[in-house]
Amino acid sequence: MRQFQASFIGIGAQKCASTWLYGVLQQCPEVFVSDEKEVDFFSYYFDRGYEWYERNFASETAHQHRGEISPSYFIHADAPARAAAYNPNLHVFVTLRDPIKRAFSNHLHEARKGHISGVNLTFETALDNNPLYRDQGRYATHLSRWMDHFPREQIHVMFQEEILADRATMARQATDILGLKPLDDFLDLKANESVRYRNAAVGETLWKVGSYARRHGMGRLVETVKSAPGIKQMRNANRESMRDAVVPMAADTEAALTDYYAKEVTQLEALIKRPVPWERFRATETA
């Protein structure tokens, strides 16, 4: 293994708690994660070569593991083969959630970023505007490509629903996978909320300061400051929930997407050899 070769990657899917996983691994002293969460090497920047990629993990301090998390890898057709050629022993973390909730969260994200406007702020119209809303939820199709290139014991599937139910246990699962000591003081980070800032400059500045502090071991201080009287009120006053700004998904759209994903969910369960925690698909199976 080269000096700074990655030993793990997170591949998404998008809007499925990958930022939470990044935050967990960032807290592990034996792990070096890239400063930028999404390096996107095996998808968008493969032409830059391994040396460029491994600069993201360069450190004078010895670490048991190095890696990064890029949700773009999950659906990229070439990423599995590229990653396997780079290091066939990679641990591959996969985070998934109910594909219909994922699609709507994707929609809120695009609205928050300003990538869509007008009629496309309506989810039903946006489904036609952005085919990836649907495609990224075809979990079995995309995961099977990764299983063609990596042994199943190196692919670790985690569900966002299980993370929300017991964050500490799921954090312990992540550290156990990498053979690390459990975190003594696990800092439970809630990231990527579907909110936008009324004053974008203030919001971005606070985010950058917090991100820098967490990377330098001051995560607990950041969370304490965020909860302090005055600071908490200022942050809340500058935030608007995207769920208040975007019309909810229509019931018939939700039903149609349930039918659309039903076969994929059945195939996913066969791939990972365990049931998924999405009750809507239980009803589909018994109907």
Cα–Cα distance between 108 and 114 in angstroms, integer?
Answer: 10
Helices (H) and strands (E) in the chain, counts: 16, 7
- Could you tell me the CA-to-CA distances from 38 to 96, 102, 160, 272 in Å, in that order? 17, 19, 19, 25
* Residue 188 forms part of a structural domain: yes
* Residue 231 forms part of a structural domain: no
Angle at 257 between CA 254 and CA 262, to 5 degrees: 125
Q: Are 27 and 172 in contact (CB under 8 A)?
A: no
* Residue 272 forms part of a structural domain: yes
Structural domains in the chain (count): 1
* Residue 239 forms part of a structural domain: no
* Residue 47 forms part of a structural domain: yes
Find the domain containing 102 and state its range. Answer: 8-192+251-286
DSSP string, 16-60: SSHHHHHHHHHT-TTEEE-SSS---TTTT-GGGHHHHHHHTT--S
* Residue 184 forms part of a structural domain: yes
Q: What is the pTM of this model?
A: 0.85
Q: Is 227 buried (19+), middle (13-18) or exposed (0-12) by CB count in 10 A?
A: exposed
* Residue 208 forms part of a structural domain: no
CATH of residue 125: 3.40.50.300
Helix (H) or strand (E) holding 156: strand 155-159
**Alpha-carbon dihedral of residues 157, 163, 166, 171, nearest 10 degrees?**
70
Cα–Cα distance between 42 and 9 in angstroms, integer?
Answer: 10
Sequence-ordered list of residues with C-beta below 8 angstroms from that of 158, at least 6 positions apart, any chain: 17, 21, 93, 94, 95, 96, 170, 173, 174
DSSP 8-state secondary structure symbol assigned to residue 150: S
Tens of pLDDT along the chain (287 residues) come to: 789 999 999 999 999 999 999 999 999 999 999 999 999 999 999 999 999 999 999 998 999 999 999 999 999 999 999 999 999 999 999 999 999 999 999 999 999 889 999 999 999 999 999 999 999 999 999 999 999 999 999 999 999 999 999 999 999 999 999 999 999 876 766 655 566 555 566 556 665 666 666 556 666 665 666 667 776 665 655 566 677 778 999 999 999 999 999 999 999 999 999 999 999 998 655 55
* Long-range contact pairs involving 226-233 (C-beta distance under 8 Å, separation at least 24): none
Helix axes 219-226, 200-215, angle to 10 degrees: 150
* Residue 268 forms part of a structural domain: yes
